[in-house]
Amino acid sequence: MRSSSTPPGAWRALRDALDGTVLVAGDEGYESARPLFNGRFAHLRPAAVAYPEHAADVAACLDLARRHGLPVALRSGGHSYAGWSSGTGRLVVDVGRMAGVRVDGDTAVVGAGARLGTVYDLLARQGVTVPAGTCPTVGIAGLTLGGGHGVMSRAYGLTCDNLVGATLVAADGREVVCDAERDPELFWALRGGGGNLFGVVTDLRFRTHPAGRTVSADLTWPWRDARRVLARWQEWTLSLPDHVWSALRLVSASDGPTVAATVFSLDDRDELERLVDRLPGGTRGADVREEPHADAMRRLGGDQDGESGPAAPHHYDVRSQFLPDLLSPAGVDAVVGAVGAAGPGIEAVVALVALGGATNRVGRDRTAFVHRDSRFLVQHEAYWTPGAASSAPASASAPSSGVPPERAAGDWLERVHAALRPHASGEAYQNVPDPRLRDWARAYYGDAVPRLRRVKSRLDPDRMFSHPHTI
């Protein structure tokens, strides 16, 4: 979409037309409306940030954008790893005021702007839940549209697998409802196609599951055991029942690297302890807790992410890969070597998430989330404090002295990604948009690309909804 400057009168007219709000530079509240979750994108200055209250407000925002050739960006929780829910000169349509959560029979109707923490808490009051991710401030729309894995996905599938219908406002302002009967192609595409693609999703309807008691265990090992633990943990995940989930994190830290696992179960403590006893060290060093589902989700989400956002913005850069099989000893060496050699100035993480179970029982062509035969999702994450520079290299290949942390992070991500390439499928998680990927469409969507393109050109022929990785 061509970009132009929007006359002040157009903003005044939009403000009068909306039940919601629109903020332009200079308005009180504009500066605090701008930031995304990742402080790396703090420089972005949208033309305006609109907070529609309902579908008609959304249509009015899109109408203004169309008439003035203004590019739009859609925002739910604002956690896009690439910063694509904002953009300098764009009209940000933030669905945060459309965040209602209600139970309707065996489904939950969730406003597109609801954050995961709120979804878990409100649904738990009625004894139910929806399988979703861990971070409480992630938005339900962004998460679901790209897939959505979490501690219940081996038991009940991804968040998108539990979607039974959705409503969106299309580029021409029409409200479109889709489900298995109404526009099933759009419904297919919304389950993994990614955000900001077909229209502004306003609400999502999910199948619910009981939110019972849960039991989980946190384990840590000394770094000298990292190779043995990674090799054993991978094998061990193959024997897990579907109601048990686990992730392993290898983390570089200023006081030395660590390796830690979380194990989460929807069944009882005895079974979990028996399973954990098959890992090195077993339950001896494990912190095992039984707690109601919503408490577990709150604890797993950490306390750094209050609904109002973190006290200090996080700065991070992340890439993803899928592993079709267990890592060979060379792959294990690559992971442990990369974390061990991460330079100072960044915290480097390789996180492996066990897939399988219900996630992998869905056929590759049943939804637009195609990564169904992968055993593990691997995320490479680099965190830093802005302004700090890495002072000394940790190895010959580590960043050299004085390298700004953002570059050190990028270099480390490049190295770890390259080291794992021979062991990975070549696919990438569309909820971890990665501007460095060359064949990004194939990496996110595999054979689903032509089918997604057909839905895109039908719903959004003029490509009102676009970002650098729009199919």
Ligand X SMILES: Cc1cc2nc3c(=O)[nH]c(=O)nc-3n(C[C@H](O)[C@H](O)[C@H](O)COP(=O)(O)OP(=O)(O)OC[C@H]3O[C@@H](n4cnc5c(N)ncnc54)[C@H](O)[C@@H]3O)c2cc1C
* Nearer residue to ligand X within complex by CB, 195 or 257: 195
Dihedral sign computed on CA atoms, order 115, 116, 121, 127: positive
The answer to whether residue 196 forms part of the interface with ligand X (CB under 6 A) is yes
Cα(165)–Cα(145) distance, rounded to whole angstroms?
12
Q: Which stretch binds ligand X (CB under 6 A): 73-81, 215-223, 246-254, 454-462?
A: 73-81
The answer to whether residue 148 forms part of the interface with ligand X (CB under 6 A) is yes
Nearest CA among 250, 260, 224, 259 for reference residue 381: 250
- For residue 378, with 0-12 CB atoms within 10 Å meaning exposed, 13-18 middle and 19 or more buried, which class applies? buried
Nearest CA among 337, 372, 370 for reference residue 357: 372
Q: In the complex, what is the shortest distance from the CB of residue 339 to ligand X, in angstroms, rounded to a whole number? A: 19
- Find the distance separating the first CA and the last CA of the chain, reported in whole Å: 15
Q: Which stretch binds ligand X (CB under 6 A): 134-142, 207-215, 287-295, 354-362?
A: 134-142
Per-residue contact string for residues 199-238; x = within reach of ligand X by CB under 6 A: -xx-------------------------------------
Q: In the complex, what is the shortest distance from the CB of residue 170 to ligand X, in angstroms, rounded to a whole number? A: 11
The answer to whether residue 77 forms part of the interface with ligand X (CB under 6 A) is yes
The answer to whether residue 74 forms part of the interface with ligand X (CB under 6 A) is yes
Number of residues that bind ligand X (CB under 6 A): 34
The answer to whether residue 170 forms part of the interface with ligand X (CB under 6 A) is no
User: DSSP states of 54-85 as a string?
Assistant: SHHHHHHHHHHHHHTT--EEEESS---TT-TT
Dihedral sign computed on CA atoms, order 186, 191, 192, 194: positive
Residue 315: CB partners within 8 Å, gap ≥ 6? 38, 39, 40, 383, 384, 385, 386, 405, 406
User: DSSP states of 358-419 as a string?
Assistant: GGGGS-TTTSS---TT-SEEEEEEEEE-TT--B-S-SSTTSPPTTB-HHHHHHHHHHHHHHH
Q: How far is CA 466 from CA 28, 38, 40, 200, 396, in A?
A: 28, 20, 21, 12, 41
Select from 23, 33, 59, 95 the one that contacts ligand X (CB under 6 A): 95
Q: In the complex, what is the shortest distance from the CB of residue 146 to ligand X, in angstroms, rounded to a whole number? A: 5
Q: In the complex, what is the shortest distance from the CB of residue 193 to ligand X, in angstroms, rounded to a whole number? A: 10
Q: In the complex, what is the shortest distance from the CB of residue 138 to ligand X, in angstroms, rounded to a whole number? A: 4
The answer to whether residue 139 forms part of the interface with ligand X (CB under 6 A) is yes
Q: In the complex, what is the shortest distance from the CB of residue 9 to ligand X, in angstroms, rounded to a whole number? A: 27
The answer to whether residue 120 forms part of the interface with ligand X (CB under 6 A) is no
The answer to whether residue 262 forms part of the interface with ligand X (CB under 6 A) is no
The answer to whether residue 145 forms part of the interface with ligand X (CB under 6 A) is yes
* Nearer residue to ligand X within complex by CB, 84 or 120: 84
The answer to whether the CB of 113 falls within 8 A of the CB of 76 is yes
Q: Which stretch binds ligand X (CB under 6 A): 118-126, 143-151, 210-218, 400-408?
A: 143-151
* Nearer residue to ligand X within complex by CB, 336 or 432: 432
Binding region for ligand X (CB under 6 A): 37, 73-81, 84-85, 95, 112, 133-135, 138-139, 141-143, 145-150, 195-196, 200-201, 431, 467
